[in-house]
Amino acid sequence: MLSDKIQVAVVGLGVGEQHLAALLTHPKVEIVAVCDLKQEKIFSILNKYNLSHAISKNFQQIVENKNINLVSIASFDDAHFSQVIDCLHYGKHVFVEKPLCQTHAQLKKIYTQWKKNKLGLSSNLVLRKAPLYVWLDNAITSGEIGDVYAIDMDYLYGRVHKITEGWRTNVDDYSVMAGGGIHLIDLMLNFLKEMPSKVQSCSNKIATKNTAFRYHDFHSSIFHFKNNVIARVTANFGCMHHHQHVIRIFGTKGTVIYDDMGPRIHRARTENACAKSLDLQPKPAHKGCLLLDFVNIVLSGNIEKTALAEFDLMSVVIAADRALVFDNHPIEITYVSRETCHVNG
C-alpha cells in the first residue's frame, strides 16, 4: 500500500491531456514526467498546466525511472501492448486508453507478465461512470426490470473522418470493435455480471470503401450466455449519424431504451402505455473520472479484481474480432485468466 504521494507519468498528450487534467485534481498524485511524439505538444502542456517541475522524458526513460509508480498511457492503439508490457516489467501500475492490446497472443503475454507481480492494471472505459448506466446497473442488480433476457446496443461513431484521415489509417490490425464497441461490451458485462460463453460476428466495409481506411467499418457481434441471455453489440464507424450510444435492455418487468429520444423505461405492454423519461446523463462528468478511481485502487492495494476484469473484457473483445473469420459461426470464448478451463456454451 502506498501511503505517500504516488508519482505519475503521462504518455501521449492528445487524449492524455484529459488524463493529466484529472490526475492534477487528486491530492495524492504528483506528475513527475510527460511524454509525447511531438516536442511542441510537450512544451505546450507543461506551460498550460504550470508543470515546470515535471520532466519531459521519452518512454524508455520513464519506465526505467524507479521513482515513478504509475504510468498513464494514451498513445496510439498499436503501441499499447509493448508499452504495457514494459511498464509491468519495470514494476509500474498501468492505466491505458482502450484497448489494452490487439490480439489474443498479446493479451496472454500481458497476463503472464502481470502474474509475476500483480500490479494495478486498467483501461479507460468511462461509460460505466455515466449516471444513466450507474442507475441501470443498480436497476438490473436489484431486479427492478426483472430478469434480463436480451441486450441490444449500437456504438454509432459518427466521426468517419477520424478513420479515413487520422492516425487510424496507419495502424495495423485496427479494430472498430476494440476501438469503440468495447465501451458497450464493457457495459454488457457490468450489467449481466456474467461472462459470455460464445460469440458470432460479421462485418462489412461499405461506408468507407475507396478511402485510406483499410479495415471493416461496421462490425456486429452476438454474444451467448450460459443462462440463455443473448446480447447484440455493433460498432458502426461509418454511420451517417452524430456520435451516439443506442441502448436497449429487455427485462421481464421493464424495457430501458436510450437513443435520440433520450433515456426512458417502459413498464407495461398495453397499447396506450407511455414510457417514463429518465433524467439521467448518458455520459460521465469527465473522461478522467475512472483514472481517479484507479489511483485510489492502487493506493488501497486492492488491485487484483480490477486487473482480472480487464483481462476478461479483452478476452471477449478479441474473441469478437477472431469470430469474423468463421463466417458468422459461433466460437467459444477463451479467457486468458483461466485458459486451462474450457468455457462451455
Question: Sorting pLDDT into bands at 50, 70 and 90, what band is 341?
Answer: very low
Least confident residue range of 84-98, 176-190, 324-338? 324-338
Angle at 164 between CA 232 and CA 154, to 5 degrees: 15
Question: Sorting pLDDT into bands at 50, 70 and 90, what band is 236?
Answer: very high
Query: Minimal CA–CA distance to 19: which of 162, 166, 133, 124?
Result: 124
Check residue 52 and give its pLDDT.
77
Check residue 343 and give its pLDDT.
38
Check residue 166 and give its pLDDT.
87
Q: Is 220 helix (H, G, I), strand (E, B) or coil?
A: strand
Least confident residue range of 49-63, 120-134, 225-239, 283-297? 49-63
**Beta-carbon contacts of residue 302 (< 8 Å; ≥ 6 apart):** none
Locate the domains of the chain by residue range: 6-126+287-305, 127-284+318-338
| Total residues belonging to the chain | 345
Check residue 2 and give its pLDDT.
52
Please write the tens of the pLDDT for every residue from 248-301: 999 999 999 999 999 999 999 999 999 999 999 999 988 889 999 999 999 999
Alpha helical stretches, state H, the chain: 16-23, 39-48, 59-64, 80-89, 104-117, 131-142, 161-164, 176, 182-192, 289-300, 304-322
Whether residue 327 is predicted with pLDDT greater than 90 in this model: the reply is no
Positive/negative CA dihedral, 35, 40, 43, 46:
negative
Check residue 1 and give its pLDDT.
47
**Beta-carbon contacts of residue 50 (< 8 Å; ≥ 6 apart):** none
Check residue 55 and give its pLDDT.
82
Check residue 345 and give its pLDDT.
32
Check residue 286 and give its pLDDT.
87
Please write the tens of the pLDDT for every residue from 4-17: 789 999 999 999 99
Whether residue 344 is predicted with pLDDT greater than 50 in this model: the reply is no
Residue 122 · residue 306 · CB < 8 Å: yes
**What would the CATH number be for the domain defined by 6-126+287-305?**
3.40.50.720
Q: Give the residue-averaged pLDDT of 108-127.
A: 96
Whose cell is 498550460? That residue is 48
Q: Give the residue-averaged pLDDT of 128-144.
A: 97
Measure the CA–CA gap between 179 and 274, rounded to whole angstroms.
Answer: 36
Residue type, position 134, single letter? V
Whether residue 342 is predicted with pLDDT greater than 90 in this model: the reply is no
Query: Minimal CA–CA distance to 282: which of 139, 131, 58, 148?
Result: 131
Please write the tens of the pLDDT for every residue from 69-115: 999 999 999 999 999 999 999 999 999 999 999 999 999 999 999 99
pTM: 0.94
DSSP secondary structure string, 55-122? EE--HHHHHH-TT--EEEE-S-GGGHHHHHHHHHHTT-EEEEPSPS-SSHHHHHHHHHHHHHH---EE
Which cell is 192 given? 449481466
Question: Sorting pLDDT into bands at 50, 70 and 90, what band is 339?
Answer: confident
Which cell is 307 given? 486487473
Positive/negative CA dihedral, 337, 341, 342, 345:
negative
Check residue 3 and give its pLDDT.
54
Which cell is 32 given? 513527475
Query: Minimal CA–CA distance to 267: which of 278, 251, 248, 246?
Result: 251
Asked if the 127-284+318-338 domain carries CATH number 3.40.50.720, the reply is no
Q: Is 252 helix (H, G, I), strand (E, B) or coil?
A: coil
Question: Sorting pLDDT into bands at 50, 70 and 90, what band is 148?
Answer: very high
Measure the CA–CA gap between 141 and 10, rounded to whole angstroms.
Answer: 36
